[in-house]
Amino acid sequence: MTLHPQHSPAPASGHFLPRIRRTAVANGASLCCLLTLPMAALAQSPAQDARKLDAVTVIAKPQDPQSTMGSAYVLTQRELEKFEDTNINSVLRRIPGVYVREEDGMGTFPNIGIRAGSSGRSGRISLMEDGIPAAMSPYANTSAYYFPTLGRMSGVEVLKGPEVLLYGPQTTSGAINLLSTPIPDAAGGALKTELGQFGTRKIHANYGATVGQWGFLAETYQRETDGFHKIDRSTRTAGSDVEEYLLKARWRSAPDAALRQQVDLKLFSGQEDADVSYLGLTDADFRANPDRRYHLGELQRMDRSRKSASVRHQIELHPSTLFTTTAYWSDTSRHYDRLNQVNGVGIGSVVNTINNNRADAPLLQGILNGTANTTHGNGVRYGHNHQDFVAKGLQLDVLSSFATASVQHEITAGVRWHHDATKNGTSGIGNSIYRQVDGSLVYESTSAAALARGEAEAMAFWAADRISMGALTLMPVIRHERIRSHADTSVAKTDLNSNQINKTTLGLGANYALTQQWTLLAGVHQGFAPPGSGVANGTKGEESTNYEAGVRYRQGEFGVDAIGFYSDYTNAMRNCLVANPCPNGAVDGTQQTGSKKVYGLELGMSANLYNQGGHRIPARLAYTFTNGEYTKDSDVATGVRKGDVLEYAPKHMASAQLGWETAAWKSYASFNYAASACSTNTCGRAGVDGRYLETDALFTVDLSTSYQLTRDVQIYAKLDNVFDKQKITSRGPDGARGNMGRYFAAGMRVSF
């Protein structure tokens, strides 16, 4: 399969470590990229391999499918620029085996699952930025209320299979690594500006250089939008504002130094303010106007800020041995004023009461419409969920290659110490009470809240050996997690507020090159995900055994990847959140949800349908089939039952792209489909009315085009959701939610 080459600067003289084909932080994961990875050829020169050291990737050599043994996909900067997406959900739906569900239609709260692992707040994926854990609290609070801004990224990697054991701590399903803008080898920069509907404005600018042994990059990303929702009887918007700044610095040893070294420093500061709501719509109101927001949610707002720093040191101890040390720190604040009760009815039950015409349904509908006054003492209750999270760690990696007779070995080993500290109630206020009078909110009172602190400390160890024996490559891998957590550090540890986990997991990957065109792959690994800090002693965490096997074919400009997967969750677990309540309505702690089995097929295809006379027509396809069920009852009587369906796991998902490219014009069409899915495990039970427990099937079409004005200036335009199709894509925390309707934007890219 021949695709166009990735946009990368030529390597500078004395480029660091040309004999090691990737960073140690990448931990030896040589994986396949189909569909969205531009490649010049299946083979790379040493200089091209060396260039990968500038980005901390989890996919080492995707250009060579015969050297890989797991399922992995890459979206490069060139691919991200095709549609200039700022919503991570729009990007990930192009990758097989990844499930996304819109909550606010703009990707503010990503809900991402891989191979039907739990998608609630993306709590079952290992989320990284430049190979470093990016979740606000990976061990103590795994829900990713913080997600790195897609708009400033230069690439996205999705990894599944045994190699996820080299990252973690969540290894039951897969990992996502976001690649930030690299330091350029030559002085230069880029400016991107965009204007769109709903008052959307975006500026993305960076400048950097490498001079001798020193390099730097300065970058800012700023975006604001009023959003597409309209709040009843309000002049407030339902949009978001993002403002981020990034600084990178690098030092390299001289080319002739006895010990070749490199030090990378990365500093980041960002702020996001989003007018999001936990209250959705009744089905009747959604069908009438999917862009509506109830007035009761007018005061809901989330302020999210992040500061982070990391330093990475690489040293070549030997031409075939690389040692890497990485220290990282992040401080994430999430201050969320959210509606949590309406006339004494908690969020999670308000819309359900109306949809199912239960007692008080007419009164609640009138309150939502503003035609009825509240009658309960807690008329309209807002919770002030103000939290701070500090994550820090130190990671050591070694990568070494050697040969024994005709067998090649590539050893990867590492250790990571990590500490999470969480603070709840940092503002000192708990709930604010309002009454609704004649359609307006009238303030009543605010209660106090005590500060609660939790923590989790972990030591992780991993090792793998990539063993190459001619056409066959094997990769055994092992990981061990030692986790100690404490839910409330203000009181002494007891079996009720602390937990200890020692978990060892194993994996094995295999790859066999039948011919230059055909490659077989297979893998098995034990998965694990920590349960968080708010659990009692003896809580095991989520556990699974995951299998995959498939075939790859490459012939000229045509390529196919077909990979089947089977996951046996022996101890499925859910984090109970207001945004993702457990089956019994719990919104705190974790809940063991029995066992489940998931199986399916991932299919990827890529081809050039035409490539002559300066015209090229590229095509790509990603398809996922998924099935499965719960195979064991939950430990909670009101929880899952054997035979229950999987939540938010559509049976069929597909994304196809068709393009037309010339030297000046580049135009693309994207066709996206997701089947309907159950929003709760109960919707398939006998006697259960499932009318309000399923999402809608959704088919959308996106268009984009760009024109190269000069060598350094390009203009572009895009039209998302061409046919203005809006469907119910999620039903949580309370009520129907949908995707954004038709959206138009235009912009300009300038390089200098």
Do strands 518-529 and 542-555 pair parallel, antiparallel, or not at all (unpaired)? antiparallel
Structure confidence at residue 292 (pLDDT)? 97
Residues 545, 571: Cα–Cα separation, whole Å: 10
How deeply is 179 buried, as exposed, middle or buried, from its count of CB atoms within 10 A (0-12, 13-18, 19+)? buried
Tokens of 550: 């498939």
Q: What is the SS3 assignment for 571? A: strand
| Residue 340, domain CATH | 2.40.170.20
Percent with pLDDT over 70 in the chain? 89
Dihedral (CA of 389, 330, 100, 90) sign: positive
Residues 297, 285: Cα–Cα separation, whole Å: 15
pLDDT at 23 over 50: no
Tokens of 195: 């204007």
- Structural domain includes residue 186: yes
* Contact call for residues 460 and 502 (beta carbons, < 8 A): no
* Contact call for residues 726 and 741 (beta carbons, < 8 A): yes
pLDDT at 625 over 50: yes
Q: How many domains does the chain have?
A: 1
Could you tell me the pLDDT band of residue 70, with boundaries at 50, 70 and 90?
Answer: confident
Could you tell me the pLDDT band of residue 144, with boundaries at 50, 70 and 90?
Answer: low
- Structural domain includes residue 7: no
- Structural domain includes residue 102: yes
The secondary structure of 199-211 as a DSSP string is TEEEEEEEEEEEE
The secondary structure of 347-400 as a DSSP string is TTTHHHHHHTT-TTHHHHHHHHHTSS---STTSEEEEEEEEEEEEEEEEEEEEE
Structure confidence at residue 590 (pLDDT)? 66
Report which of 26, 150, 128, 172 is spatially closest to residue 393, judged by C-alpha positions.
128
Mean pLDDT across 15-38? 37
Residue 89 is classified by DSSP as H
Distances in whole angstroms, Cα of residue 634 to Cα of each of 9, 119, 218, 528: 54, 18, 50, 18
Q: What is the pTM of this model?
A: 0.91
**Tokens 């015969």, residue?**
66
The larger pLDDT score, comparing residue 57 to residue 426, is at 426
Dihedrals phi, psi of 50, to nearest 5 degrees: -60, -30
pLDDT at 19 over 80: no
Mean pLDDT across 604-627? 95
Mean pLDDT across 626-655? 91
Q: What contacts 451, CB < 8 A, 6 or more positions away?
A: 423, 424, 425, 426, 428
pLDDT at 583 over 90: no
Structure confidence at residue 522 (pLDDT)? 96
- Structural domain includes residue 4: no
Mean pLDDT across 659-670? 97
Cα of first residue to Cα of last residue in the chain, in angstroms, is: 32
Q: Mean pLDDT lowest for which of 100-109, 341-350, 362-371?
A: 100-109
* Contact call for residues 197 and 745 (beta carbons, < 8 A): yes
pLDDT at 68 over 80: no
Structure confidence at residue 636 (pLDDT)? 78
- Structural domain includes residue 447: no
- Residues 439-465: tens digit of each pLDDT: 999 999 999 998 999 999 999 999 999
**Which residue blocks in 468-518 are alpha helix, DSSP H?**
none
Q: Could you give the angle at the alpha carbon of 164 between the alpha carbons of 163 and 165, nearest 5°?
A: 85
Could you tell me the pLDDT band of residue 577, with boundaries at 50, 70 and 90?
Answer: low
Q: What contacts 585, CB < 8 A, 6 or more positions away?
A: 348, 349, 638
Mean pLDDT across 328-332? 97
Mean pLDDT across 132-143? 90
Q: Could you give the angle at the alpha carbon of 230 between the alpha carbons of 224 and 236, nearest 5°?
A: 60
Structure confidence at residue 27 (pLDDT)? 39
Could you tell me the pLDDT band of residue 734, with boundaries at 50, 70 and 90?
Answer: very high
Could you tell me the pLDDT band of residue 581, with boundaries at 50, 70 and 90?
Answer: low
Report which of 434, 464, 454 is spatially closest to residue 498, judged by C-alpha positions.
454
pLDDT at 14 over 60: no
- Residues 592-603: tens digit of each pLDDT: 677 999 999 999
pLDDT at 145 over 90: no
- Residues 207-216: tens digit of each pLDDT: 999 999 999 9
Report which of 65, 46, 41, 50 is spatially closest to residue 9, judged by C-alpha positions.
50
Structure confidence at residue 578 (pLDDT)? 61
pLDDT at 489 over 80: yes
- Residue 743, CB-side half-sphere exposure with 13 Å CA sphere: 28
- Structural domain includes residue 171: yes
Structure confidence at residue 588 (pLDDT)? 59
pLDDT at 63 over 70: no
Tokens of 612: 């002559």
Residues 681, 213: Cα–Cα separation, whole Å: 57
Mean pLDDT across 382-403? 95
Residues 35, 95: Cα–Cα separation, whole Å: 8
Q: What contacts 289, CB < 8 A, 6 or more positions away?
A: none
- Structural domain includes residue 14: no
Mean pLDDT across 461-489? 95
Structure confidence at residue 64 (pLDDT)? 64
Give buried/exposed letters for 569-581 (b at 16+ CB in 10 A, else e): bbbbbbbbbbbbb
- Residues 502-558: tens digit of each pLDDT: 999 999 999 999 998 999 999 999 999 999 888 889 888 999 999 999 999 988 889
- Structural domain includes residue 688: yes
Q: What is the largest CA-CA distance in the chain?
A: 85
- Residues 86-135: tens digit of each pLDDT: 999 999 999 999 999 988 999 888 899 999 888 777 888 999 999 999 99
Structure confidence at residue 328 (pLDDT)? 98
pLDDT at 12 over 60: no
pLDDT at 614 over 60: yes
Could you tell me the pLDDT band of residue 142, with boundaries at 50, 70 and 90?
Answer: confident
Range of the domain at 353: 24-441+456-751
Could you tell me the pLDDT band of residue 33, with boundaries at 50, 70 and 90?
Answer: very low
Mean pLDDT across 29-49? 34
pLDDT at 41 over 60: no
517-520 long-range contacts, Cβ below 8 Å, gap at least 24? Answer: 517/553, 517/554, 517/555, 518/551, 518/552, 518/553, 519/65, 519/66, 519/68, 519/551, 519/552, 519/553, 519/554, 520/549, 520/550, 520/551
